[in-house]
Structure 1
């Protein structure tokens, strides 16, 4: 009996091994048929199961990764499937949705509100909050980040929901800021772990290495608030102009069908409204923080900006959108701000949908494509002395913007079908803020108790989203006329 059982066990093991070998052989044959002799792109040797996980730098990985830019939008518009999105409460965010019909519905609805022919209607609100920023910096120059958040979040809350924030201490600013609290600290290794070993998400929070639960839990209540509270308020009162009122009105006129269809479109509208406030405010505030830090570190930039503003705008009014074409140097400052500090150094990874080929190399379906924005924006062959904040790099010998220099906006805002629909709105906000702040303020280094300058070095924080770590500076009005301009604009 024992001998018979042993024989059966041996036979079973042999069958299992044989089946595994046959499956492996089958997969190799299929792989070679797909590859058709084309090599994979050059890179370090892959390990079984974990692939190249050990080759990914664990600290600020954009310094070490090589990029493969997205030039095949029809095949590289997908996103990584990972449970971290739902864990962080970001199922509504179309920027990280899987490519497909659901994504297209969100993208279409958002684009309708932010295409070039539409963004001009938001300029009065942008102007109003930019002038509130100037007044805030005059009165409370030590609260730069809070005032920038009030400016940007106040703007998008107004145009999206017709909601007025009180000041920089409004609790709703904290709710919006906290929606990104989980994703801000997501690392490449954490993304890899949750993507390839999704069962890890079910580990209890007390288990060693499961601290990500705490990170993601912080952003879930603010995300739920962002989706429901302001939208419900705007839905209850659609008398004032707002994106939500327009979206709801469009749903009512375009859908004569079932209640289920109407509710489905309303959920898309709810998601889109939350995306506008969340995504626009976080990245724009970080970019402006980087700009103000750069101005404090490179005073020669301010000198040239002042000369242009004084000549074009003059001392008796504030800059406005109509001045943009004439303010060449200010436009170059905006481009350099986007290049110098990258809020999303590795952008958001793309995933190929089908097998592809690039420069003779085989790109299998399911390949993760990482656009290394930081490497592109700091390539010394494109931008000499990339660590220097030097707007002149974008200006030609004729005194105009040089079209031959790579415009950071072509990469910063994404690529292909995943390009940011709100880029024109963001660009307008950056221009008016840069021109207005430079027109009336002198930004310098922080000072100690003896009035001596404190040396500050630019350092970007670690994580999926990156922020300037030390933004200390002094902000003082350029003149008595500048103070009068600020006070008179209120």
Structure 2
């Protein structure tokens, strides 16, 4: 018996050894570089406790300080990397942009609220490419100045008038003026003439989309989207239903408005009308079916309304905290424009310091501290680290704005850094995104902001209210919201 057991043990030992050798050979043949560094994940739940719940970019920046340009995180059903340097973002998202054109699936805002049709949230599919095909030329710098500069000028004038009448309601006046600009540019109107205010409804939708983007449990566990709305704890289902209905009604309202105005030959020059007229010419000449293209125009036009308010609020705050910069900009504007007329786009080339003020406002507080995440289509490697297919990639652009190796004394508002300094990183190269997913409306956003900035400094001297705290630290100045 003992001999039999000994022989059996030797056989089992040999079998185990052969199995181990086989597994080792298999792993080597399927080996990949190591994953990026990051905090140690816990069993089952991964790095859930390492994920920030507020002021997202500050914890992301701390992780970058500890683990390097790329931080690796794991949550149930998803792998994540956070990029904290311009070089890593440019290499991964710009140079390898074709592999990072998708978006990670977000169950709340995309599936339940149904906003996956808008250009920023669409996957990198043929319809998204059609959106980009329409948006790129329509929002080029030449097209904006040629077709839409009058809209910007009129909107800036309305804002100045509102500010004169009701200075205490400057935030409402600003939101209203910017909203009118975008609504007129996209759809050619601010209302349907029957009491439906496009701007107010768009602002309400912006609030809903911001809430839906804030992070829900259903985003971590997508199967929860099948929970019925009456189930205890399913408030997210009831919220999503309400927000989806509001969005659907608004889409139909704005589309019907354009169709009615065009049928009555009252269609004003705007993105949707101009594109539909061009498509109709193609159909008349070729007989092509343009149904898909028409829908793409409507959907891409609906994507125009973004959080442009954040761009200007940063400027207003900066002017109260940096009175010397404000005085220098106002002196330049007074010299070039004078007091007998409003500023115009033709003045841009003669106002280099004002241009620097706008650039510094973008850098000092990026309008979206982290831009919409990308998702990798295929396995990839970067600096010897492995990035598997389907990884969520979060670009922490706030950290670029505070990187002392990029910007000297980064917390200080200093437009002089952009004067006669051609080698400095232009904030427009990162605040509007990277690669094929970069915001096609970057020229639009900058031109709107420039016109509002120069008009405000031409008309007013801005001062901090008495009794306000000093706001010496970034954490006191900003709320770090995704959309403001």
Partner Cα separation in structure 2 for residue 209 and residue 303 of structure 1: 54
- Work out whether residues 370 and 396 of structure 2, in 8 Å CA contact, stay in contact via their aligned partners in 1: yes
Tell me which residue corresponds to 1:40.
35
1:357 aligns with 2:381: yes
Given candidates 95, 101, 111, the residue that maps to 2:126 is: 101
Distance of aligned partners of 1:63 and 1:425 in 2 relative to their CA distance in 1, 3 Å threshold:
same
Distance of aligned partners of 1:431 and 1:189 in 2 relative to their CA distance in 1, 3 Å threshold:
closer
Partner Cα separation in structure 2 for residue 170 and residue 287 of structure 1: 27
Given candidates 168, 178, 184, the residue that maps to 1:142 is: 168
- Work out whether residues 378 and 386 of structure 1, in 8 Å CA contact, stay in contact via their aligned partners in 2: yes
- Work out whether residues 190 and 198 of structure 2, in 8 Å CA contact, stay in contact via their aligned partners in 1: no
1:273 aligns with 2:292: no
- Work out whether residues 53 and 189 of structure 1, in 8 Å CA contact, stay in contact via their aligned partners in 2: no
TM value normalised by structure 1: 0.79
Given candidates 289, 306, 314, the residue that maps to 2:338 is: 314
Given candidates 132, 142, 147, the residue that maps to 1:117 is: 142
Partner Cα separation in structure 1 for residue 373 and residue 173 of structure 2: 32
Shift of 1:173: 2.1
Tell me which residue corresponds to 1:253.
281
CA RMSD of the aligned region, Å? 2.9
Given candidates 420, 426, 431, the residue that maps to 1:412 is: 431
Tell me which residue corresponds to 2:469.
455
Pairs within 5 Å for 1:36-435: 36=32, 38-65=33-60, 66=64, 67-68=82-83, 69=89, 70-71=93-94, 72-84=96-108, 85-120=110-145, 121-164=147-190, 171-186=197-212, 189-190=215-216, 193-204=217-228, 210-213=234-237, 215-238=239-262, 239=265, 240=267, 241-255=269-283, 261-276=289-304, 278-279=305-306, 283-396=307-420, 402-435=421-454
Partner Cα separation in structure 1 for residue 403 and residue 50 of structure 2: 22
Shift of 1:34: 5.1
Shift of 1:203: 3.3
Partner Cα separation in structure 2 for residue 208 and residue 414 of structure 1: 39
Shift of 1:356: 0.9
Distance of aligned partners of 1:260 and 1:210 in 2 relative to their CA distance in 1, 3 Å threshold:
farther
For structure 1, which segment, 59-68 or 209-218, has the greater mean C-alpha deviation from structure 2 after superposition?
A: 209-218
Shift of 1:209: 5.5
- Work out whether residues 349 and 371 of structure 1, in 8 Å CA contact, stay in contact via their aligned partners in 2: yes
What residue ranges of structure 1 are gaps of 5+ in the alignment?
A: 1-21, 397-401, 448-452, 468-490
Partner Cα separation in structure 2 for residue 340 and residue 204 of structure 1: 44
Shift of 1:327: 0.9
Tell me which residue corresponds to 2:482.
464
Superposed CA offset, 1:213-271 (max 9, x none)? 45534532332233111221111222332222222223323347999943332221211
Distance of aligned partners of 1:367 and 1:236 in 2 relative to their CA distance in 1, 3 Å threshold:
same
Distance of aligned partners of 1:426 and 1:195 in 2 relative to their CA distance in 1, 3 Å threshold:
same
Superposed CA offset, 1:429-466 (max 9, x none)? 1111111101110111224xxxxx4336354336532x
Partner Cα separation in structure 2 for residue 32 and residue 258 of structure 1: 58
Partner Cα separation in structure 1 for residue 126 and residue 30 of structure 2: 27
Partner Cα separation in structure 1 for residue 373 and residue 289 of structure 2: 32
Q: How many residues align?
A: 424
- Work out whether residues 413 and 419 of structure 1, in 8 Å CA contact, stay in contact via their aligned partners in 2: yes
- Work out whether residues 198 and 254 of structure 2, in 8 Å CA contact, stay in contact via their aligned partners in 1: no
Partner Cα separation in structure 1 for residue 170 and residue 100 of structure 2: 39
Partner Cα separation in structure 1 for residue 423 and residue 326 of structure 2: 25
Partner Cα separation in structure 1 for residue 409 and residue 324 of structure 2: 16
TM value normalised by structure 2: 0.80
What residue ranges of structure 2 are gaps of 5+ in the alignment?
A: 1-18, 65-81, 84-88
Partner Cα separation in structure 1 for residue 27 and residue 332 of structure 2: 61
Shift of 1:129: 0.9
Partner Cα separation in structure 2 for residue 139 and residue 188 of structure 1: 36
| SS of aligned partner of 1:357 | strand
Superposed CA offset, 1:327-383 (max 9, x none)? 111111111111122232111111111111111211111111110011111222322
